[in-house]
Structure 1
């Protein structure tokens, strides 16, 4: 039976005999390679180790390196720094150029350039200045709007104020016309300069004694007038709402409604529709004190000889006198009367 030393020797011989062909001398050489110098490596390999020449050359190069060399270095993946070339190295180490100085600073030296403002500083300063101007503009705008709102509230609280607009959706042109309108209430203010002073002449050369004022316009309500004789209506009614003004007189060439009675003047009177502002008969306006605008009929006597009468009373000449429904109008001493009313009038 073999001893333990004999079994160990046999196992070592089996390992040596199991090497592939060409590597028979590797076991014997490996025992003495630590004592063999690197300069004698090639001779030792040629004398004691037979292997392909490619492996022998590679093994010799490994021995020429440091003792810690790795023969598989060339098969390993390179790191980022190892793969870096000259271009990427320059790009990674690039340095930003200094900021340019203020272009508006003229004739400055190199030393002064270091203390001058840069483009970034100029931009920040301009940005702050713009924000400051914007804030001041917003504050001023709010202040103006607040003052206007307070003024409107104060104006609306005053009774009979003429600052209130009847229709807020009217265009600017209508508002400009309204500003020129003369407020007419129950006191019947003067109409102003008559046409006689303006020398208005019609197509037939007749000088007109009256011309339409700026506030004269077509009415919203369908006003009409009936000619009365002995308390009875004669003929068709005159549709007053189709014109802004109607001239009454004995001169049929210029009159819209001729009055043939000898007591009437050639240009006796005018009925016109004027836009006025005031409280009037509106209940809500009387309660709130706000004025409203409306178009109403007025009559003016053109300094006639025998005068104009409304409900039996003579009206002053050259004054606009407000007419209301069912009023009876008479010119001179004529027995004919004219009743004015509109389509919504209720019979008395």
Structure 2
């Protein structure tokens, strides 16, 4: 299946002057009192702490913060009043090299970003398992493979120049990401095209699962 896919190459304020020492006696002789203190004004700049706190899920800090031009396909189509028959439908299909029956499809529509990450446990977990033994799964698109990090990469939709475009970004994953057999640069957005193939290790032999991005 992958042989006909993934043929596209990778595109890839001023100094603060400290006052000198001044004796209190000179202030008394001149003014008869200590000089008045300047009022301390509040700082209204964003510290980013609230934003970081909002990216804590299940007690785990998310590594990806969405860009300012993020937009979901649903919001884009609503904003630009695009009828259903003219909408591009985005999907992510997870496949296995040696198991043609393994095929999971995820519709990419309601959200502006989708986290891809590791999930090794089965979908039907034993309810008798202790809570601390359960695997913490953060991914929107889970990959059942050891080489895949829990926060491996993200498919990010962005509204740019009146168009909706999909990008992928590697979240400094342990084993790296391949896009059409090319190593994806870390922490940089690369635009996705239909039928692009993602693998979750730069050593292709270590990765049996792959993801096909489809825009149709």
- Asked whether the two chains share a fold, i.e. TM above 0.5, the reply is yes
On the 8 A contact 1:328/1:337 being kept in 2, the answer is: yes
On the 8 A contact 2:96/2:103 being kept in 1, the answer is: no
Q: Distance in 2 between matches of 1:248 and 1:240?
A: 12
On the 8 A contact 1:263/1:334 being kept in 2, the answer is: yes
| TM-score, normalization by structure 1 | 0.36
Which residue in 2 is equivalent to 1:272?
156
On the 8 A contact 1:226/1:233 being kept in 2, the answer is: no
Structure 1 residue 230 displacement after superposition: 2.5
Which residue in 2 is equivalent to 1:210?
64
1:234 aligned to which of 92, 97, 102: 102
Q: Distance in 1 between matches of 2:67 and 2:108?
A: 17
Stretch of structure 1 that moved more, 297-306 or 241-250: 241-250
Q: Distance in 2 between matches of 1:294 and 1:207?
A: 31
On the 8 A contact 1:227/1:233 being kept in 2, the answer is: no
Which residue in 2 is equivalent to 1:339?
212
* 1:325 counterpart = 2:194: yes
On the 8 A contact 1:309/1:315 being kept in 2, the answer is: yes
More helix by share: 1
Which residue in 1 is equivalent to 2:91?
224
Consecutive unaligned residues of structure 2, counting only runs of 5 or more, are 1-9, 13-47, 78-87, 120-135
Distance change in 2, residues 1:250/1:236 (3 Å): closer
2:176 aligned to which of 307, 314, 329: 307
Structure with max Cα Rg: 1
Q: Distance in 1 between matches of 2:111 and 2:56?
A: 17
Structure 1 residue 236 displacement after superposition: 4.0
Structure 1 stretches of 4+ with a deviation exceeding 6 A read none
* 1:259 counterpart = 2:143: yes
Larger RCO (alpha carbons 8 Å, 6+ apart): 2
On the 8 A contact 1:226/1:234 being kept in 2, the answer is: no
* Cα-Cα RMSD: 2.5
More strand by share: 2
Once the two structures are superposed, residues 205-240 of structure 1 have per-residue CA deviations (whole angstroms, 9 ceiling, x without a partner) of 211101222211112421012122237473341101
Structure 1 residue 241 displacement after superposition: 2.0
Once the two structures are superposed, residues 190-211 of structure 1 have per-residue CA deviations (whole angstroms, 9 ceiling, x without a partner) of xxxxx99x63443422111012
* 1:199 counterpart = 2:52: yes
| TM-score, normalization by structure 2 | 0.56
- In the TM superposition, 1:1-348 aligns within 5 A as 199-200=52-53, 201-219=55-73, 220=77, 221-230=88-97, 232=100, 234-250=102-118, 252-277=136-161, 293-332=162-201, 333-343=206-216
Q: Distance in 2 between matches of 1:246 and 1:233?
A: 24
Once the two structures are superposed, residues 74-103 of structure 1 have per-residue CA deviations (whole angstroms, 9 ceiling, x without a partner) of xxxxxxxxxxxxxxxxxxxxxxxxxxxxxx
